[in-house]
């Protein structure tokens, strides 16, 4: 327990700071508020790092909001898994904020409400990762969902508004199913506190608990866009402005995955493992279907969005393997690898689209010559997605394969290897096009250097993390 002065508790400030800069950005008016956001995110990075170090050293942190504890008040708690997710969120959001400040020119209608919505999104994510009861988790899920829908609609075109509505209905049905599950859990056990439920839900749990578990996981699968519930993701992530796509693909879909993992390892551990192979089967289907659609995609951002569908599949392969500790490490490493790489890749795609004035793979001819830094960033992110050493993607996939073979599930190892080959096909498809000679008529618009280098920083981080992955993988050892 951190017994520090409640007013200076980093846990509370990780939620309050983004709320503060989001509100400030809203008050400042359309398109304003980039600098407060960047300053706030830099502070949040430091807070999250500090928290991760404390938790990594064997502690946990908790905070009772306003001094009112459960059942009527709200308890917040941080263990290794939450600390890792908090770290990833701030570490991805800060470079993306620097990117977005240059991406949205003054007066760009797509950037009108980017800063307030992003602030509310980050506040919702941070609150989700530290919530210690199932109902507060529902509220934070909705906060994240509503802010994300607002960001998707920001482009303002009919396609974007339609994608936002499709996403809104999917996310509302998902959280509705989760809420019904929470209602059944409360009916059966009279509490929604994760810590209190832990010893109560046993192997002889009533049928109500099984239905609740099924509903909650199904709802969260819809929100994580696991195949076949991925239909809303490609239009939403592919159609949004590049900084938004990056935030959504890197962070938002991971939040509902985090919650599945949290339930699986925590309060519903007696119930959920019955679904382990179903999850792995859908994960494998996601890898094949997502990769196939990415290979066929016409638009660049659509290709990257389908790659997200595929990469999310790997996260679900770990569920039958959770008996071995390596599986959680693999899952967290894959969340980081994909988070950093996909943020970098969408950011690079944003540069390419701004420069070429079009969002197609075919339009990339000559990009390597004209935008070498951006294409290098795309290549590095691609390396992580393919799982080439020494990237963090390699570390994640290697850990899954090791855990699978140790338990005799060679089929999972085979899926991981096949998925890596398919990723190579769609990444190399983009790189090959970029290496072609540009048509004589092609002109490239100049692009701010900040955009290129922030994309590069994210992609390079996804590779370099592979060299320093051990400390990170030790963190979720401390799941409570």
Considering the complex, state which of residue 146 and residue 327 has its C-beta at the smaller distance from other proteins. Answer: 146
Judged by CB under 8 A, does residue 218 bind other proteins?
Answer: no
| Residue 205 interacts with other proteins (CB under 8 A): yes or no | no
Q: Taking CB under 8 A as the rule, does residue 172 contact other proteins? A: yes
Residues in the chain, total:
480
- CA 339, CA 365: separation in Å to the nearest integer? 27
179 binds other proteins (CB under 8 A): yes
The pair of structure tokens assigned to 329 is 């490490």
Residue pair 246/347 in contact (Cβ under 8 Å)? The answer is yes
Is residue 146 a contact residue for other proteins (CB under 8 A)?
Answer: yes
Comparing CB distances to other proteins, the nearer of 126 and 175 is 175
Q: Which is nearer to other proteins, 156 or 389 (CB)?
A: 156
CB count within 10 Å of CB 183 equals 16
Return d(Cα 108, Cα 91) in angstroms, integer. 26
Single residue of 176, 273, 448, 477 touching other proteins by CB under 8 A: 176
Q: Tell whether the torsion through CA atoms of 297, 232, 92 and 423 is positive or negative.
A: negative
Q: What secondary structure does DSSP assign to 402-432, as a single string?
A: HHHHHTT-HHHHHHHHHHHHHHHHHHHHHHH
Near other proteins by CB under 8 A: residue from 26, 35, 135, 288 = 135
- Dihedral sign, Cα of residue 354, residue 355, residue 358, residue 364: negative
The CB-based long-range contact list for 53-59 (8 Å cut-off, 24+ gap) reads 54/2, 55/79, 55/80, 55/83, 55/475, 55/478, 56/80, 56/83, 56/471, 56/474, 56/475, 56/478, 58/478, 59/2
Q: How many residues bind other proteins (CB under 8 A)?
A: 43
Which CB, 186 or 288, lies closer to other proteins?
Answer: 186
Would you say 138 or 346 has its CB closer to other proteins?
138
CB of 296 to other proteins, least distance (A): 9
Using CB under 8 A as the binding rule, whether residue 302 contacts other proteins is answered as yes
Range in contact with other proteins (rule: CB under 8 A) among 15-23, 119-127, 153-161, 307-315: 153-161
In the set 214, 238, 382, 466, which binds other proteins (CB under 8 A)?
238
CA atoms within 13 A on the CB side of 348: 34
Question: 182: which 2 tokens?
Answer: 């929470």
Q: Choose one: 134-142, 324-332, 347-355, 421-429; the region binding other proteins (CB under 8 A).
A: 134-142
Of the ranges 35-43, 93-101, 155-163, 343-351, which one interacts with other proteins (CB under 8 A)?
155-163
230 binds other proteins (CB under 8 A): no
Judged by the rule CB under 8 A, the positions of this chain that interact with other proteins are 71-72, 135, 138-139, 142, 146, 149-150, 153, 156-159, 161-166, 168-169, 172-173, 176-177, 179-180, 182-184, 186-188, 190, 192, 234-235, 238, 297-299, 302
């Amino acid at each position: 327990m951190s017994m520090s002065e409640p007013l200076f508790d980093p846990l509370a400030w990780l939620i309050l700071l983004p709320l503060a800069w989001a509100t400030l950005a809203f008050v400042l008016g359309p398109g304003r508020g980039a600098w407060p956001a960047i300053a706030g995110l830099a502070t949040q990075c430091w807070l999250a790092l500090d928290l991760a170090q404390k938790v990594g050293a064997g502690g946990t942190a908790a905070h009772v909001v306003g001094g009112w504890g459960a059942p009527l008040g709200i308890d917040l708690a941080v263990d290794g898994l939450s600390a890792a997710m908090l770290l990833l969120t701030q570490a991805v959001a800060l470079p993306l904020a620097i990117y977005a400040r240059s991406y949205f020119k003054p007066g760009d209608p797509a950037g009108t409400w980017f800063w307030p919505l992003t602030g509310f999104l980050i506040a919702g994510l941070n609150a989700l990762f530290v919530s210690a009861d199932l109902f507060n988790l529902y509220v934070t899920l909705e906060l994240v969902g509503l802010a994300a829908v607002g960001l998707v609609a920001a482009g303002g075109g009919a396609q974007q508004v339609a994608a936002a509505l499709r996403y809104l209905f999917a996310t509302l049905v998902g959280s509705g199913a989760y809420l019904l599950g929470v209602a059944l859990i409360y009916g059966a056990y009279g509490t929604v506190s994760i810590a209190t439920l832990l010893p109560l839900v046993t192997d002889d749990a009533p049928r109500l608990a099984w239905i609740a578990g099924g509903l909650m996981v199904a709802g969260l699968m819809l929100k994580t866009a696991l195949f076949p519930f991925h239909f809303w993701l490609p239009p939403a992530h592919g159609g949004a402005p590049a900084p938004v796509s990056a935030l959504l693909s890197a962070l938002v879909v991971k939040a509902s995955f985090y919650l599945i993992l949290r339930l699986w390892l925590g309060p519903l551990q007696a119930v959920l493992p019955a679904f382990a192979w179903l999850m792995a089967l859908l994960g494998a289907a996601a890898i094949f279907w997502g990769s196939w659609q990415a290979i066929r995609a016409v638009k660049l951002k659509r290709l990257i969005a389908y790659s997200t569908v595929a990469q999310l599949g790997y996260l679900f392969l770990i569920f039958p393997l959770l008996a071995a500790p390596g599986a959680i490490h693999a899952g967290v490493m894959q969340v980081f690898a994909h988070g950093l790489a996909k943020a970098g890749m969408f950011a690079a795609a944003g540069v390419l689209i701004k420069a070429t004035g079009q969002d197609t793979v075919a339009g990339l001819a000559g990009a390597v010559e004209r935008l070498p830094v951006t294409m290098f960033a795309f290549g590095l992110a691609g390396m992580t997605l393919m799982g080439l050493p020494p990237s963090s993607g390699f570390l994640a996939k290697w850990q899954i394969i090791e855990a699978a073979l140790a338990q005799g599930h060679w089929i999972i190892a085979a899926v991981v290897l096949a998925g890596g080959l398919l990723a190579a096909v769609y990444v190399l498809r983009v790189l090959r096009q970029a290496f072609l000679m540009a048509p004589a008529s092609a002109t490239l618009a100049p692009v701010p250097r900040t955009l290129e280098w922030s994309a590069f920083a994210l992609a390079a981080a996804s590779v370099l993390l592979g060299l320093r992955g051990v400390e990170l993988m030790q963190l979720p050892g401390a799941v409570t």
